[in-house]
Structure 1
Amino acid sequence: MQFQEYAYQHMDALSLQKQLSELAEQIQQAKTIEQVQDCIKKVDTIRRFVATQVSLVEIRHTVDTKDAYYTKEQEYLDTVLPELEKDYEKINRALLESTFLDDLKQRLPETFFLQKEMDLKAFDPIIIEDMQEENRLMTKYQALIASAEIPFDGEIYNLSSLEVKTNSSDRQVRKRALQAYWNWFEQHEEEVAQIFDQMIKVRTRMAQKLRYDNFIALGYARMHRYDYDQEDVAKYRRQVLEDVVPLCSALYKRQQKRLGYDTLHAWDEKVEFLQGNPTPKYDRAELVKRAQKMYHELSKETGVFFDFMVEHDLLDLDSKPGKAAGGYCTFMPDYKSPFIFANFNQTQHDAEVLTHEAGHAYQIYESRDIYPSDCVWPTYESCEIHSMSMEFFTHPWMQSFFEEDTNRYYYSHMAGSLKFLPYGVLVDHFQHEVYTHPEMSHKERMDTWRRLEKEYLPHKNYEEVEILERGGWWMRQAHIFMSPFYYIDYTLAQVCAMQFWARMENKDPKAFEDYQHICKIGGTLPFRKIVKEAGLIVPFEEGCLAQVTGSVSQWLDEISEEELTA
């Protein structure tokens, strides 16, 4: 069965609510642990069904945001899903209050119960209308970004497809492309600002109703941060400032010198080499074919996985009008199928999608049979270990994607991985600031971004791009709107992935075996335990960042400019 044949079923919310409510009562009245376990299985069946339908709507809506049917279904789900949370809450409370709880904890993954505890901290029926409003605002932002139609050199581009021009080897082309890209945001600045302001207000209102000081604690609970807190994150951010920002500043200076420019402008940052960035030498169909061969050679398991993705048409990779921006991997439990959504744009990003998103998909494929299905996915920072590490484990095959540009790809990828850390931490720090001070005006939020940007990214030069000089970059970062506090996760995972890379460099025969192990255990453990299961150092530990990023920086320093410009 191919993806097009996966059947979508409009959810009967009242029927689902009735079933969940009855199951909550049965858990409360259960006389044996077997009766409770039977209820958990029935709840799991409902959760799998709901997750499948939600993913089908998400995929078909984002593939074509102009499709009226799935736009309407997305709007329906925006209203219905918060209502279902009320009934899931009854289930969670009944489980955590069950007289059989201790015995259940011996039989089910520890994260199953940690998740229920977090969900109770993050929900109360009094916030249902606010959750519905938040969903509507997220859909509105996504639709606005997807609606972009930007004229450039006689053609019309969306935001994703225009990015290829911002990577052009022609400095004037990428300058004009970057200005056109940000001119669109300037023209829609008021609308974006209003959406975000409303989001902050509704999220703050939810937090206050749940008796939190602000949205931050609620945001952490919604992210299921089981084993680290705001203090851990603040210490980690300080380590990035001290240990990583100086290394990145040196990389930007080297880049400027390599390009031969007096100043590295905003439109120069994405270009590492005068002849242009490395680009895959083939179209989408050929890249997928080569990726399939790569995954067969990487391991038997990855080969089986990628065959499944291709044979079931579970990759939508082409950028096209009306398609939502960005990329993601989702999962349809009832079909045991991951799905990869992306916007190819003829840059090295295309190869990275086939490794990054495939890392997510491989993990979910390997752990798809975990029960309960709530534990198939780990928390986000753990998920990103799978994706970012896969980017490094596939390095030996990049020759077949980039041909003569392979060495430049290695450098660009490694340098980009290091440079990303301060940016990822900046996104997180900005969110802590705006939710600590929800009363901020749009200008104050812009000023806050620019102030923090000067700390984490001191090299930034926004001359001739006025909206960026005012602090507007955050408006393009969808996570800030769609998944608050989901971003530092990438940096934590990147530090873990770099450790896998170092083990590969040192010819550690267990590196990929450990990677496959954490893919198979899915979300059955919290973040710190998953990192230790992988044989890695937890990024929060003192000295971890200095050690890991220092080894990457040294590797980059050992590559001569002659090798890169040959």
Structure 2
Amino acid sequence: MLKFSEYPYSRVDVVAVQNQLKDLVKKIDSCENSDNLYDLFMEFNEIKSNVESMSTLSSIRHTINTQDEFYTKENDFYDEMLPVLQESYITVDKAFLANKNIEGLKQRVPETYFMSKEMEFASFDSCIIEDMQLENKLTSKYQALLASAQILFDGEVYTLPALEVKTNDKDRSVRKEAMKAYWGWYQEHQEEIGDLYDQMVHVRTKMAKKLGYSSYIELGYKRMKRYDYDQNDVAQYRKQVLEDVVPFDSSLYEKQKDRLGYDTLYAWDEKIEFLSGNPTPKHSREEMVKRALNMYKELDPKTGEFFQYMVDHDLLDLDSKKGKAQGGYCTFIPNQKSPFIFANFNQTSHDAEVLTHEAGHAFQVYESQDIKPLDCVWPTYESCEIHSMSMEFFTYPWMKDFFEEDIDKYYFNHLSGAIKFLPYGVLVDHFQHEVYANPDMTPQERMKTWRELEKQYLPHKNYDEIEILEQGGWWMRQSHIFMDPFYYIDYTLAQVCAFQFWVRQQNNDSKAFEDYKHICKIGGTLPFRKIVKEANLIVPFEQGCLKETVEKISKWFDAHQDVK
């Protein structure tokens, strides 16, 4: 049994792959029957799986240690070469679609594959390869910059993720000073970060113009593969959040202020729900993984099998350490049929959420790994996040094993954080629409735009003594804005779906987890709206969906206001 550290890696021979693909195109052009065409399609899938396996291994090992010279060079290589290979992939896809037996292939391949190809054809041309390479370099540079942060606080040196622990400290003065130190680093690097983003905005806009779009917004939606909704749907959804969620969240913040006994709720107070301190896991990382394994075995035989596999193969890298990229993610190594979970534990409730949120992603891809082609193993992002956010709720009965006497505080904190997240997630999306609709804004104008939108979606914000935040600098820490433009509304759409699973749990609906397993199994074979309906949930765009959800959450808080 191979451990992750033993997974073999070799740099992709791009020239050899390109020659394979050229030969494949010739075979496709001369293919006379649908069975042979399907065999060629599977051959193409195998080639792509090999490339993705090596590039993903390289990426994982680079993020585990951004100071590793070998994998930094490998990461740079894929930044350069993956856009080149994408051109070759599209040539092969076009050959398949031009074959007279394509209808036979369409009967054997999920509909989303062909929807995906339509989006890819509309979002790629060889004329933008150099721009894509520059985009990759800029995102890697941003990631490395944040990973390099070494911040002196209270006599010790912290990374950004590690310092976040102090911003949640029970002591109000510690929180305040930690937040000032945290954002002091961003203020010191404000010009560099602003310039990096400015370059990203302009190169993305340049790509859009080359492809005939009026702005990057249109291209961004194609790249995100928004199959069955558009900008109008998203704008209407944002409006629902403003009308139904923002007022409710404002009342939660007001009650939080009163519960804490403060005259004013400052930015450094927001993450503290209780004067006695926020809920924290009571165990080491090793013990938490053991308890997570027991939890998943008791939840369902399938989840038990999945997490045992993750543990046996060392597919969880959870410790925060020097040189490690910040944040967390789940990815998949096709050749090994292995999900991989990356995180930065920091002794907060976030650690337990990693073992549920990222494990939700990992369980989905573990269940759908045998779907062919590889392109349909994962759904689009807003559907992916249903799996992760819903798993956070389905594991509620076991959270006592992690939080013990803090369990009631955990439930309160988690549900509060989830509903408070919606306006922030929508703000990130709205900001990006404004940025790409007005790409020539200066970095200062972008800061001003963020702050103006923030006052709509998060009217409670008080940034006293933190100048960069009052100017509108919070967005600089949101890596999705830099690395995955327009990937954020997805979290909020999925959260609304996850809330619906939570309501079904509250109602003791025995079919809820079966519906959840079902949508994990179907992976990316359907677009977002259809996946939501397969789960027997309401599509978040539907008028009234948010209003109904907020009413049910409000009743829960009314019944749990005595938690301290």
TM-score (norm 2): 0.99
Question: Deviation digits for residues 342-393 of structure 1, max 9, x if unmatched?
Answer: 0000000000000000000000000111111111000000000000000000
Q: Whole-Å Cα distance in 2 between the matches of residues 374 and 20 of structure 1?
A: 17
1:210 aligns with 2:211: yes
1:483 corresponds to: 484
2:229 corresponds to: 228
Moved over 6 A (4+): none
Letter of the 1:231 counterpart? N
Question: Deviation digits for residues 384-420 of structure 1, max 9, x if unmatched?
Answer: 0000000000000000100000000000000100000
CA contact under 8 A between 1:33 and 1:104: conserved in structure 2? yes
Once the two structures are TM-superposed, the CA of residue 515 in structure 1 deviates from its matched residue by 0.2
1:372 corresponds to: 373
Question: Deviation digits for residues 516-550 of structure 1, max 9, x if unmatched?
Answer: 00000000000000000000000000100111122
2:271 corresponds to: 270
Letter of the 1:203 counterpart? R
Question: Deviation digits for residues 212-260 of structure 1, max 9, x if unmatched?
Answer: 0010111111111100011100000000000100010000001100111
Q: Whole-Å Cα distance in 1 between the matches of residues 54 and 226 of structure 2?
A: 26
1:52 corresponds to: 53
2:295 corresponds to: 294
2:179 corresponds to: 178
2:159 corresponds to: 158
1:239 aligns with 2:227: no
1:407 aligns with 2:408: yes
1:448 corresponds to: 449
CA contact under 8 A between 2:539 and 2:545: conserved in structure 1? yes
Once the two structures are TM-superposed, the CA of residue 196 in structure 1 deviates from its matched residue by 0.1
Q: Whole-Å Cα distance in 1 between the matches of residues 30 and 123 of structure 2?
A: 26
CA contact under 8 A between 1:426 and 1:456: conserved in structure 2? yes
Q: Whole-Å Cα distance in 2 between the matches of residues 307 and 95 of structure 1?
A: 40
SS at match of 1:7: coil
Letter of the 1:370 counterpart? I
1:251 corresponds to: 252
Matches within 5 A, 1:307-386: 307-386=308-387
Once the two structures are TM-superposed, the CA of residue 464 in structure 1 deviates from its matched residue by 0.4
Q: Whole-Å Cα distance in 1 between the matches of residues 99 and 462 of structure 2?
A: 59
CA contact under 8 A between 2:499 and 2:549: conserved in structure 1? yes
Q: Whole-Å Cα distance in 1 between the matches of residues 52 and 438 of structure 2?
A: 34
CA contact under 8 A between 1:430 and 1:452: conserved in structure 2? yes
SS at match of 1:168: coil
Once the two structures are TM-superposed, the CA of residue 559 in structure 1 deviates from its matched residue by 0.7
Q: Whole-Å Cα distance in 1 between the matches of residues 123 and 378 of structure 2?
A: 19
SS at match of 2:152: strand
Q: Whole-Å Cα distance in 2 between the matches of residues 29 and 188 of structure 1?
A: 57
2:140 corresponds to: 139
Once the two structures are TM-superposed, the CA of residue 29 in structure 1 deviates from its matched residue by 2.4
Once the two structures are TM-superposed, the CA of residue 97 in structure 1 deviates from its matched residue by 2.3
Task: List alignment gaps of at least 5 residues for structure 1.
Answer: none
SS at match of 2:485: coil
CA contact under 8 A between 1:360 and 1:383: conserved in structure 2? yes
Q: Whole-Å Cα distance in 1 between the matches of residues 91 and 533 of structure 2?
A: 34
CA contact under 8 A between 2:365 and 2:520: conserved in structure 1? yes
CA contact under 8 A between 2:382 and 2:494: conserved in structure 1? yes
Matches within 5 A, 1:451-466: 451-466=452-467
Q: Whole-Å Cα distance in 1 between the matches of residues 29 and 243 of structure 2?
A: 52
Once the two structures are TM-superposed, the CA of residue 26 in structure 1 deviates from its matched residue by 2.1
TM-score (norm 1): 0.99
Q: Whole-Å Cα distance in 1 between the matches of residues 409 and 550 of structure 2?
A: 20
Once the two structures are TM-superposed, the CA of residue 159 in structure 1 deviates from its matched residue by 0.3
Q: Whole-Å Cα distance in 1 between the matches of residues 431 and 551 of structure 2?
A: 26
Q: Whole-Å Cα distance in 2 between the matches of residues 38 and 403 of structure 1?
A: 54
Once the two structures are TM-superposed, the CA of residue 556 in structure 1 deviates from its matched residue by 1.3
CA contact under 8 A between 1:495 and 1:545: conserved in structure 2? yes
1:430 corresponds to: 431
SS at match of 2:465: coil
Identity over aligned pairs, percent: 63
SS at match of 1:163: helix
SS at match of 1:43: helix
Letter of the 2:195 counterpart? Q
Q: Whole-Å Cα distance in 2 between the matches of residues 420 and 554 of structure 1?
A: 18
Once the two structures are TM-superposed, the CA of residue 39 in structure 1 deviates from its matched residue by 1.4
CA contact under 8 A between 1:414 and 1:556: conserved in structure 2? no
Question: Deviation digits for residues 264-301 of structure 1, max 9, x if unmatched?
Answer: 00100111111110000001000000000000000000
Matches within 5 A, 1:79-158: 79-158=80-159
CA contact under 8 A between 1:92 and 1:120: conserved in structure 2? no
Once the two structures are TM-superposed, the CA of residue 107 in structure 1 deviates from its matched residue by 1.2
Once the two structures are TM-superposed, the CA of residue 23 in structure 1 deviates from its matched residue by 1.4
Letter of the 1:486 counterpart? Y
2:15 corresponds to: 14
Letter of the 1:88 counterpart? Y
CA contact under 8 A between 2:52 and 2:334: conserved in structure 1? yes
SS at match of 2:138: helix
Letter of the 1:532 counterpart? K
Q: Whole-Å Cα distance in 1 between the matches of residues 555 and 388 of structure 2?
A: 24
CA contact under 8 A between 2:49 and 2:374: conserved in structure 1? yes
Q: Whole-Å Cα distance in 2 between the matches of residues 56 and 254 of structure 1?
A: 47
1:36 aligns with 2:26: no
Task: List alignment gaps of at least 5 residues for structure 2.
Answer: none
SS at match of 2:107: helix
CA contact under 8 A between 1:83 and 1:128: conserved in structure 2? yes
Once the two structures are TM-superposed, the CA of residue 47 in structure 1 deviates from its matched residue by 1.0
CA contact under 8 A between 2:32 and 2:101: conserved in structure 1? no
Question: Deviation digits for residues 111-150 of structure 1, max 9, x if unmatched?
Answer: 1111111111110000000000000000000000000000
Letter of the 2:475 counterpart? W
In angstroms, what is the RMSD of aligned CA positions? 0.7
